[in-house]
Every structure is written in structure tokens, then in C-alpha cells.
Chains A and B, each alone.
Chain A
Amino acid sequence: TQLLEQSPQFLSIQEGENLTVYCNSSSVFSSLQWYRQEPGEGPVLLVTVVTGGEVKKLKRLTFQFGDARKDSSLHITAAQPGDTGLYLCAGVYPGTYKYIFGTGTRLKVLA
């Protein structure tokens, strides 16, 4: 069974703090995506990473794809209450169209 493990599952921090969310698998991905989802809505795509070792920045968010393309991290600098939500990673394995989603990290940023 292909699994994508995310950690931590829950995170509650104060505004202005930094945080990192991890996404790990035992298998190699063709590509990996990060999403943010708010209650009652569909996930919103944040970034796609494709190349091992790739780093992408989106304002205060930094995404890294592991060298071996088995893991990824999302780092948020100076978190704001608007960052609150469910963060999901999703990967697709070579030779398949099937996306596997992680279990998610529920982030709450307190003002």
C-alpha cells in the first residue's frame, strides 16, 4: 500500500512564529503537490515540485522536494491567522495517474 505520511497532524501556534510541515513516503514520486483546504471547500493548489532538491518560494511559504523525491517539506515564516487551514501533500508515482494524498496537517494560527 502506498502511503504518504504527514507530520505533525495538528499544529497550533502564535502569530509570527515559524513552522515546518513534513510529507514522507517510502517510494519515489514523479511529482508532488501541496494544497491548502478550508472547511467545506475543495483543496487549493499551492505548488508543484518535480525535480529532486527543488526549492520553491511563494511569499512566506517555502517548499522543498527531497533529493531522492521521496519526501517534501513546507516551511511557513512569520505565520499569520490567514494561514490557518488544512495543509495536504499529494504525490503521483511513476507509471500511474493515481494521486495519493497525505492525511493532512491542521494548522491554527492564533492572533
Chain B
Amino acid sequence: DTGVSQDPRHKITKRGQNVTFRCDPISEHNRLYWYRQTLGQGPEFLTYFQNEAQLEKSRLLSDRFSAERPKGSFSTLEIQRTEQGDSAMYLCAGGSDAWGEQYFGPGTRLTVT
């Protein structure tokens, strides 16, 4: 158990709806990452926070995606106007080591119908 929790674990939504996922790392995790993983692929980087600052964001991320980490603790990832192509596992990882070791949560599986 990495101590990183994600909620919900599963989400089914209709195309066009907005969804929000939450990630709770442990208190020592000043670093926080979001990834998307589709079947048969490795995780794909979405964004990175150091404390509350969003320091890097993938160019693959469209304007429909936004992430926040308001107090440097938990983080949320929102997807607006969902599309079927957004169906994937969304993973959150926390870390505090200088070399960027990441401890993943169990993920949120999103299905867009």
C-alpha cells in the first residue's frame, strides 16, 4: 500500500458530461503527477505539481482537461465535455524523493459511453 488514494475507482459517464477525479497522496508527497493509461500501453504523462504549483503540463492535454492542487495536498483532475476517446485509467502518483520516485494510487477507470 503506497498510501496514495484515488476516488472514485470507477466512473461511467455519458459523452459530453464533465467528470472530476480526486487524488490524496500522503502528507510527505510534495510532488504529484497525473497520468492516463489505455489498454496495452504504458502510462502517459498529463501533468506535474510541486506543492501547489503546476510546473509541467503535457501538450497532449487539451483545453478540456484541468488539474488543481490548491493547498499542496490533494489534487483534482477535471475533464469537461467528455469524449469516448477519454476512456482510460487515470493514475495519480505522489513522491518526495529528490530523484523523483513515484508512488501510484490504484487509479480511476473512466468509461465514456
Contacts and interface: CB of A to CB of B under 8 A. Distances in A.
Interface of B: 2, 4, 33, 35, 40-45, 48, 50, 55-56, 58, 91, 93, 97, 99-107, 109
Interface residues of A, number: 25
B42 A102 contact: yes
A97 B56 contact: yes
B106 A42 contact: yes
Contacts of A88: 42-43
B42 A101 contact: yes
Interface in A50-88: 50, 88
Interface in A36-58: 40-45, 48, 50
Nearest to B6: A42
Contacts of A103: 41-42
A31 B42 contact: no
Nearest to B100: A92
7 contacts: A30-B99, A30-B100, A31-B99, A43-B43, A90-B102, A97-B56, A102-B42
B103 to A, nearest CB: 6
B101 A33 contact: yes
A42 B36 CA distance: 11
Contact of B44 (A31, A42, A44, A101): A101
A92 B106 CA distance: 22
A20 B55 CA distance: 36
Contacts of A35: 104
Interface in A1-45: 4, 30-31, 33, 35, 40-45
B100 A97 contact: yes
Given A31-B99, A50-B99, A104-B42, A97 B105 contact: no
A88 B93 CA distance: 15
A3 B109 CA distance: 25
A103 B100 CA distance: 20
A92 B55 CA distance: 14
